[in-house]
Structure 1
Amino acid sequence: MNCVEILATVVSIILMVLTFPISIFICFKVVSEYERAVIFRMGRLRSGGARGPGVFFVLPCVDDYCKVDLRTVSFDVPPQEVLSKDSVTVTVDAVVYYRISDPLKAVIQVSNYSHSTRLLAATTLRNVLGTRNLSELLTEREAISHTMQVSLDEATDPWGVKVERVEIKDVSLPTALQRAMAAEAEAAREARAKVIAAEGEMKSSRALKEASDIISASPSALQLRYLQTLNNISAEKNSTIIFPLPMELLQPFLCTGHCNHKQKQ
């Protein structure tokens, strides 16, 4: 300390003694568990680092202090219009969670760490999203959020700010693009439905062909199938039932009758 600082300190101590015990309420300060106090004496940072939690001592008219909150703080990044890598304009907003990791840097290195972090978050959001395609913006939010968190944390580290998390809340597309994507999705669904229907028809045709080959190889199977069909028809409650008889079934009887007639002659 120089002579002026020493003189000011001595005068402050004398003033504190003369005003005792009233000076106790001025000289003793309290910081909470989640706070730290950075003390300056005659504009110089006092040695010993940040004070707290608990009670600390300051000299009146000589010492000045600044409280820093160490709790995690969150803020919303205003919606940003971003031009993606494939030249599509989207509107993106996010939320950032940060806390103070070094109270001394947060007070000394930057005038307003909260405002500076907010501005830097908006800039980082545009820079990171500008390197991604639209499909990546819609499907890789977690990876993009992690990239933003790492980039933002590196930039704010000299300020004593620790960025814990970044989350992309919403990606809004232009109305015309939404309609085009909806039409494309509908066309893709219709195409898949047609492919599935065609595959079903192909399997059905293949099964019918196999059944036809089996029946052609065994005529008795055709007759059994015919009788089964007649049985199913007779089981229904119909007032009139017509049983068509194929000539193949009557041929043995006709042949027997014809042979008997010849024998009688």
Structure 2
Amino acid sequence: MATASSYKEEMHPFAAERGTLPTTAAGIRIANPGSIDIRQSPNEGIGACGWILVILSYILVVMTFPFSLCLCIKVVQEYERAVIFRLGRILPGGAKGPGLFFILPCVDIIIKVDLRTATFNVPPQEVLTRDSVTVSVDAVVYSRIFNPVISVTNVKNTQYATQLLAQTTLRNILGTKSLQEILQDREIIANSMQTHLDEGTDPWGVKVERVEM
């Protein structure tokens, strides 16, 4: 006769791998650790002094109501995302928006990030080609921010940093080409520059969509 334990092993041969093997005590199923949803509090990890500042901020908002609403209510447009810092820490949940958001005065800092595609001109670059010919080439770069949190925390000025990288990339790529290749393969060179720029700006949360020479 099969025992109860062997019967369970036959009925649930892969239950242990899925993390759903029922316990014998109360029939509770053990959830898969990878599927546990841990929700952090906005004030988690700020310490005792942080809690005091947060409480004082709430008291200040209540005492100055309704005038405090002018400072506490922020509007994030459809094309924007907001990165909110509370005492130097990014609030859980990443970038916020669009919509209305409540900000504590003297405690929270909000940084709005524009997600629309932006363009900038690469100034004319004097480049010495492979066949020792000096040419002047400029370009137009189309880029957008795809990760607001990374763009705020990893680089100070995303557009300026992308522009400097575009200048360097343009000189490096054209320096390996001859004058004839530059004149004939402008689209190929632009695509190569776009690929190099996209890889370089990925850690900044910036997506380079297009390059025109």
SS, match of residue 59 in structure 1: coil
SS, match of residue 97 in structure 1: strand
In the alignment, what sits opposite 1:162? 207
Deviation at 1:135?
Answer: 0.8
Alpha-carbon RMSD: 0.7
Distance in 2 (CA, whole Å) between partners of 1:131 and 1:158 is: 26
In the alignment, what sits opposite 1:49? 94
In the alignment, what sits opposite 1:197? none
Deviation at 1:154?
Answer: 0.3
Distance in 2 (CA, whole Å) between partners of 1:95 and 1:25 is: 40
Match of 1:63, as an amino acid? Answer: D
- The match for 1:2 among 37, 42, 47 is 47
Distance in 1 (CA, whole Å) between partners of 2:92 and 2:157 is: 23
Taking the TM superposition and a 5 Å limit, the aligned residue runs for 1:86-235 are 86-168=131-213
Distance in 2 (CA, whole Å) between partners of 1:95 and 1:20 is: 49
User: Are 1:29 and 2:50 an aligned pair?
Assistant: no
SS, match of residue 97 in structure 2: coil
Distance in 1 (CA, whole Å) between partners of 2:159 and 2:186 is: 25
Distance in 2 (CA, whole Å) between partners of 1:71 and 1:77 is: 19
CA-to-aligned-CA distance 1:135-169 (integer Å, 9 cap, x gap): 1100000000000000000000000000000010x
Match of 1:61, as an amino acid? Answer: C
Distance in 2 (CA, whole Å) between partners of 1:101 and 1:130 is: 31
CA-to-aligned-CA distance 1:17-64 (integer Å, 9 cap, x gap): 111111122111001111111100111111111111111111111001
Match of 1:108, as an amino acid? Answer: T
Deviation at 1:96?
Answer: 0.4
In the alignment, what sits opposite 2:14? none
User: Are 1:77 and 2:126 an aligned pair?
Assistant: no
Unaligned runs of 5+ in 1: 169-265
Runs of 4+ in 1 over 6 A off after TM superposition: none
CA-to-aligned-CA distance 1:51-108 (integer Å, 9 cap, x gap): 1111111111100111111110011100000111111111101100000010001100
Taking the TM superposition and a 5 Å limit, the aligned residue runs for 1:11-26 are 11-26=56-71
CA-to-aligned-CA distance 1:94-135 (integer Å, 9 cap, x gap): 100000010001100001111111111100000111111111
Which structure has more helix as a fraction of its residues?
Answer: 1
- TM-score, length-normalised on structure 1? 0.63
Unaligned runs of 5+ in 2: 1-45
Distance in 2 (CA, whole Å) between partners of 1:5 and 1:165 is: 45
Task: Indicate the percent of aligned positions where both proteins have the same amino acid.
Answer: 61
Distance in 2 (CA, whole Å) between partners of 1:23 and 1:9 is: 15
In the alignment, what sits opposite 1:177? none
Distance in 1 (CA, whole Å) between partners of 2:90 and 2:154 is: 12
Distance in 1 (CA, whole Å) between partners of 2:191 and 2:122 is: 16
